[in-house]
Structure 1
Amino acid sequence: MTAPSRPPLKSITSPNGMQHADRATPRTAVGESKGVAEGVPIAVCLDPQTGDGRYPVAWLHICAPRGAVPTATSKCLCGRDRSAVGKARVLALITDHEAHRDECPLRTPQKGRTAA
């Protein structure tokens, strides 16, 4: 039994052994010319993300999947980082996190400090 013959793997060459590529036809421009590449802003724009000057300072993350033990984490930019596991401790941490809002040095103006 003989194996089936395979087609040649090399490309077809001209009689002198060189390959010729087709020349591309020049394309005509359609529409107006663009000063810069697409997607590059021409003028510097203000950052649309800037809001009214407020930014988050403290985060409370609560995870309470159905049928599992709830957990919570309270973090603040002032350095506060607390966590709790269990329903009673999570509820206590929520209360403590709310109380920290009034006591946080980053949120409340400090005494004796002048306005800039």
Structure 2
Amino acid sequence: MSTARTPLLKSLPATTTGPRIADPAPDTSGRGAPKVVGRKAVPIAVRPDQRTGDGRYPIAWLTISAPRGAAPTVTSVCECGRNLFAAGLRKALALIEDHTDHRAHCPLRTDQEGAAA
């Protein structure tokens, strides 16, 4: 029988007493200078929005989910604060009809010029 060897332990490094500045990460590409945005990327970042359109934008959304073999669900959301949910065929159909009716009466869609102050 031989005696068991005791493993050699590495010595711990000396601890510092004050804060140190971290070394920068090594560059993996082999270049020493940091990468700067090229000239081709600058005009793309400052271009005006190309989708000007006619000024219309969506304010109400109707989301219908009807997976096979499961009850359909409907969500009606509008920027005026409306946020309704229905599950089941009968309730889903009623919410779809109500959402269509809401489009005619939503305060964000109706003209407010003729309204009494």
Query: Whole-Å Cα distance in 2 between the matches of residues 66 and 112 of structure 1?
Result: 46
Encode CA deviations 1:22-75: one digit per residue, 9 max, x unaligned.
xxxxxxxxxxxxxx6222218x54310222100001000010001111100000
Q: 1:45 to 1:38 in 2, by over 3 A?
A: closer
* Count of aligned positions: 78
TM superposition shift of 1:112: 3.4
Would you say 1:37 and 2:39 are equivalent positions?
Answer: yes
Per the alignment, residue 4 of structure 1 pairs with none
**Aligned partner of 1:53 among 47, 52, 55:** 55
Larger of the two Rg values belongs to structure: 1
TM superposition shift of 1:82: 0.6
TM-score (norm 2): 0.60
Per the alignment, residue 107 of structure 1 pairs with 109
Query: Whole-Å Cα distance in 2 between the matches of residues 64 and 84 of structure 1?
Result: 12
Q: CA RMSD in A?
A: 2.1
Query: Whole-Å Cα distance in 1 between the matches of residues 57 and 40 of structure 2?
Result: 33
Query: Whole-Å Cα distance in 1 between the matches of residues 74 and 53 of structure 2?
Result: 29
**Aligned partner of 2:87 among 85, 88, 92:** 85
User: Which ranges of structure 1 fall in alignment gaps of 5 or more residues?
Assistant: 1-35
Query: Whole-Å Cα distance in 2 between the matches of residues 73 and 112 of structure 1?
Result: 30
Higher helix share: 2
Superposed structure 1 runs of 4+ greater than 3 Å apart: none
Query: Whole-Å Cα distance in 2 between the matches of residues 95 and 101 of structure 1?
Result: 10
